[in-house]
């Protein structure tokens, strides 16, 4: 019988740290190749990547066919898009720009079947249940969710402990690019004030009870971040890897 457990959530709960490659390209071929190249987790970016819902389903199939798992960053904390992404079988979600506990709770409710939330129900026919092949999907779906809220605005900084305490929020992921922008220092990832702010956010998240994740500052290595208690780091991106590799062999260097 078809059953699908959230392998990424299991890994994190058993204490393993994870890394993922961002997918901006919307290319099923590239994400499939990434898994075969040793990236079992692909972070499909629907916020800044090109893929919408109908392409994302092909990206998910490509990653899964190679034996990998996906996290999808949705464009916004939008209950309509969240339920559609869940119905195509995505269990691990990253939601940008969460600034308050109320917004975090709304995200959890949008992703959860009643009584925890108000996700619309079509479990008998959606891809998430194997089009009905898994009659237990509706009962288990809430437990298999991994919800990652991004902390990336000044307005969130005083609310981190409340956001991290929201039932159903598993991880808080720092977005230093948007955080620097909201501080009036866009592209200032080397700015001492941005570096200090990120360090303060790291401390607050670690004290909140939620897991800590993030996109590294240029001055830090992934190993340093894991040493500081990060559980998830996503640094490399498919189109950047391709561009840098292509530039090395380009005829006009
Ligand atoms: C940010 O830095 O703003 C992010 O969202 C992570 O890429
Ligand atoms: Mg961001």
Residue 122: band (very low, low, confident or very high) from pLDDT cuts 50, 70, 90? very high
Nearest-angstrom CA–CA distance, 201 and 172: 10
Widest Cα–Cα separation across the chain: 60
Nearest-angstrom CA–CA distance, 124 and 162: 36
Name all residues whose Cβ lies below 6 A of ligand 1: 150, 152, 175-178, 215
Query: Does residue 175 form part of some domain?
Result: yes
Residue 2: band (very low, low, confident or very high) from pLDDT cuts 50, 70, 90? low
In this predicted structure, the answer to whether residue 6 has a pLDDT above a threshold of 60 is: yes
Give the number of whichever ligand sits closest to the CA of residue 177: 1
Nearest-angstrom CA–CA distance, 253 and 246: 10
Query: Does residue 35 form part of some domain?
Result: yes
Between strands 41-45 and 69-73, the pairing is parallel
Give the number of whichever ligand sits closest to the CA of residue 217: 1
Which residues lie closer than 8 Å to 73 by C-beta, 6 or more apart?
A: 43, 44, 45, 46, 47, 93, 94, 95, 96
Query: Does residue 249 form part of some domain?
Result: no
Query: Does residue 56 form part of some domain?
Result: yes
Residue 109: band (very low, low, confident or very high) from pLDDT cuts 50, 70, 90? very high
48 is catalytic: yes
What token pair was written down for 130? 């194997």
What token pair was written down for 243? 């561009």
In this predicted structure, the answer to whether residue 129 has a pLDDT above a threshold of 70 is: yes
Cβ contact 143:113 at 8 Å: no
> Which of 44, 47, 185, 215 has most ligand 1 atoms within 8 Å of CB, for mutation?
215
Pick the atom of ligand 1 nearest to 181's CA: 3
Nearest-angstrom CA–CA distance, 124 and 136: 10
In this predicted structure, the answer to whether residue 1 has a pLDDT above a threshold of 60 is: no
CATH number, position 167? 3.20.20.60
Query: Does residue 248 form part of some domain?
Result: no
Q: Tens digits of per-residue pLDDT, 174-227?
A: 999 999 999 999 999 999 999 999 999 999 999 999 999 999 999 899 999 999
Residue 3: band (very low, low, confident or very high) from pLDDT cuts 50, 70, 90? low
Average confidence (pLDDT) over 112-116: 98
The residue behind tokens 């008998």 is: 124
Between strands 171-174 and 211-214, the pairing is parallel
pTM equals 0.98
Query: Does residue 231 form part of some domain?
Result: yes
Backbone angles phi, psi at 168, to 5 degrees: 105, -15
Nearest-angstrom CA–CA distance, 39 and 31: 9
Distance 137 CA to ligand 2 centre (A): 32
Give 43: exposed, middle or buried? Use CB within 10 Å, 0-12, 13-18, 19+. buried
Query: Does residue 2 form part of some domain?
Result: no
Cis-peptide into 115, omega within 30 deg: yes
pLDDT of residue 4: 86
pLDDT of residue 31: 98
Distance 78 CA to ligand 2 centre (A): 16
Distance 215 CA to ligand 1 centre (A): 6
What is the count of structural domains for the chain?
1
Which residue owns the Cα nearest ligand 1 atom 1? 175
Domain assignment of residue 114, given as a range: 7-241
Which residue owns the Cα nearest ligand 1 atom 5? 175
Query: Does residue 247 form part of some domain?
Result: no
Q: Please give the mean pLDDT across all residues of the chain.
A: 97
Pick the atom of ligand 1 nearest to 150's CA: 5
- Cα 60–Cα 62–Cα 63 angle in degrees, nearest 5: 65
């Amino acid at each position: 019988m078809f059953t699908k457990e959230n392998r990424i959530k299991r890994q994190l709960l058993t204490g393993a740290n994870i890394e993922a490659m961002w997918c901006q390209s919307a290319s099923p071929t590239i994400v499939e190749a990434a898994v075969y190249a040793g990236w079992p987790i692909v972070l499909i970016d629907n916020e800044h990547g090109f893929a919408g819902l109908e392409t994302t389903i092909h990206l998910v199939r490509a990653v899964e066919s190679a034996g990998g798992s996906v996290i999808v960053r949705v464009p916004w904390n939008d209950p309509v898009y969240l339920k559609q992404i869940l119905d195509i079988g995505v269990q691990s979600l990253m939601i940008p720009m969460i600034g308050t506990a109320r917004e975090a709770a709304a995200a959890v409710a949008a992703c959860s079947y009643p009584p925890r939330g108000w996700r619309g129900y079509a479990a008998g026919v959606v891809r998430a249940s194997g089009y009905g092949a898994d009659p237990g999907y509706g009962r288990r779906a809430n437990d298999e969710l991994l919800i990652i809220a991004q902390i990336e605005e000044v307005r969130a900084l005083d609310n981190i402990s409340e956001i991290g305490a929201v039932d159903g929020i598993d991880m808080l992921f720092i977005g230093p690019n948007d955080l620097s922008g909201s501080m009036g220092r866009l592209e200032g990832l080397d700015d001492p004030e941005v570096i200090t702010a990120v360090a303060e956010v790291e401390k607050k998240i670690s004290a909140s009870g939620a897991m800590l994740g993030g996109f590294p500052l240029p001055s830090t290595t992934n190993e340093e971040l894991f040493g500081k208690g990060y559980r998830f780091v996503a640094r490399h991106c498919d189109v950047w890897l391709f561009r840098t590799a292509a530039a090395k062999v380009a005829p006009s260097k």
